[in-house]
């Protein structure tokens, strides 16, 4: 199947740390010419039915999605799941377990911020969390922008929310093996999200890809809002080296905060196998009627 498809397989709604509803995201994706869409909220699939219904109403193809937080050799890595059965109990329970520590972590983050004179951050962040089960650093960042501690969320992360800063709290997420297994046993495909974002040495990155593949992982994001054009090429080569399919997704969170708009990234390079080729039977509704060698970007 062609790599020339306006697929956007990574974005966030109010169900995690995005600011738009699943329905508003679907409409925005459609308006931007997205042909195949997936909503991938952090550690949560509560928005899947709404997203799939909205996509269907707009005549847009849909894959179920999630982005699972994982701790791998001391760093947080994100694993996207696509095309799984959202009713799979192992996956549902695994995600609930992964979300479990967020409440305490948020209180500890607020305590850290209070020590440097920022009061009320827990309540302030919670106000922004559409889903109280899924309070994230992004919600703290919005509160610190609201209270003019910083001018934008990027500055908040840099000064307060990354390792070594007052609002950072060490946290253990799911294991790589568990996340990949939950997704694949639910009939889905596990995909390494935005690999260029991690601060791994070459050896550590090799270990990540090798172990991921060993656990049954099948894909890697190549074209994402977190990569530069030269990183598209680097990870297209990595995908080929490890025999992984390639994915494309904006990681859109909010019209006010995201620099990459839904459905506007370049297409995947022509030399990779797109994830939608392996997921063809899980796309809703089936089939994805598209000519093999189309050259039109679809918008």
Spatial separation of the C-alpha atoms in residues 266 and 261, rounded to whole Å? 12
Task: Decide: is 226 part of the binding site for ligand AMP (CB under 6 A).
Answer: no
Under 8 Å between Cβ of 246 and 222: yes
Please give the angle made by the CA atoms of 224, 227 and 232, to the nearest 5 degrees.
85
Spatial separation of the C-alpha atoms in residues 25 and 261, rounded to whole Å? 11
Please give the angle made by the CA atoms of 59, 11 and 142, to the nearest 5 degrees.
135
Site mask, ligand AMP, residues 1-40, x = CB under 6 A? ----------------x-----------------------
Task: Decide: is 128 part of the binding site for ligand AMP (CB under 6 A).
Answer: no
Task: Decide: is 248 part of the binding site for ligand AMP (CB under 6 A).
Answer: no
Q: Look at residue 178 and give the partner it binds from Mn ion, ligand AMP, none, a contact being a CB closer than 5 to 8 Å depending on partner kind.
A: none
CB nearer to ligand AMP: give 77 or 183.
77
Task: Decide: is 251 part of the binding site for Mn ion (CB under 5 A).
Answer: yes
Spatial separation of the C-alpha atoms in residues 240 and 243, rounded to whole Å? 5
Closest CA to 16 of 109, 94, 156, 128: 128
CB nearer to Mn ion: give 4 or 194.
194
| Residue 285 beta carbon to ligand AMP: minimum distance, rounded to whole angstroms | 30
5: which residues sit within 8 A by CB, 6+ positions away?
35, 36, 267, 274, 276, 290, 294, 298
Q: Look at residue 215 and give the partner it binds from Mn ion, ligand AMP, none, a contact being a CB closer than 5 to 8 Å depending on partner kind.
A: none
| Residue 254 beta carbon to ligand AMP: minimum distance, rounded to whole angstroms | 9
Burial of 87 by CB count in 10 Å (0-12 exposed, 13-18 middle, 19+ buried)? exposed
Spatial separation of the C-alpha atoms in residues 211 and 175, rounded to whole Å? 11
Task: Decide: is 35 part of the binding site for Mn ion (CB under 5 A).
Answer: no
Number of residues in contact with ligand AMP, rule: CB under 6 A?
10
Task: Decide: is 142 part of the binding site for Mn ion (CB under 5 A).
Answer: no
> Nearest residue by C-beta to ligand AMP?
136
Region of 52-60, 134-142, 218-226, 284-292 interacting with ligand AMP (CB under 6 A)? 134-142
| Residue 251 beta carbon to Mn ion: minimum distance, rounded to whole angstroms | 4
> Which H helix or E strand runs over 222?
strand 219-224
| Residue 17 beta carbon to Mn ion: minimum distance, rounded to whole angstroms | 4
Q: Which positions lie near ligand AMP, rule CB under 6 A?
A: 17, 42, 69, 136-138, 153-154, 157, 253
């Amino acid at each position: 199947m062609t790599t020339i498809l306006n697929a956007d397989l990574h974005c966030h709604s109010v169900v995690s740390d995005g600011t738009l509803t699943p329905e508003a995201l679907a409409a925005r994706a459609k308006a931007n010419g997205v042909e195949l869409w997936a909503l991938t909220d952090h550690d949560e699939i509560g928005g899947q039915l709404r997203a799939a219904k909205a996509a269907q109403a707009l005549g847009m193809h849909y894959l179920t999605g999630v982005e699972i937080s994982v701790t791998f050799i001391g760093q947080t890595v994100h694993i996207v799941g696509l095309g799984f059965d959202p009713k799979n109990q192992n996956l549902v329970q695994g995600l609930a377990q992964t979300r479990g520590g967020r409440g305490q972590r948020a209180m500890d983050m607020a305590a850290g911020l209070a020590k440097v004179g920022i009061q009320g951050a827990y309540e302030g962040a919670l106000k922004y969390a559409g889903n109280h089960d899924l309070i994230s650093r992004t919600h703290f960042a919005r509160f610190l922008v609201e209270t003019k501690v910083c001018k934008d969320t990027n500055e908040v992360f840099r000064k307060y929310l990354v390792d070594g800063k007052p609002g950072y709290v060490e946290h253990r997420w799911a294991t790589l093996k568990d996340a990949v297994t939950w997704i694949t046993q639910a009939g889905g495909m596990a995909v390494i999200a935005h690999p260029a974002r991690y601060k791994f040495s070459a050896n550590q990155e090799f270990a990540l890809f090798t172990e991921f593949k060993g656990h049954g992982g099948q894909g890697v994001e190549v074209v994402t809002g977190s990569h530069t054009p030269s990183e598209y090429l680097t990870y297209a080569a990595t995908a080929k080296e490890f025999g992984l399919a390639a994915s494309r997704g904006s990681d859109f969170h909010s019209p006010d905060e995201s620099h990459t708009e839904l459905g506007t990234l370049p297409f995947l390079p022509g030399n990779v196998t797109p994830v939608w080729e392996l997921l063809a039977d899980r796309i809703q509704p089936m089939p994805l009627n598209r000519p093999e060698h189309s050259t039109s970007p679809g918008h």
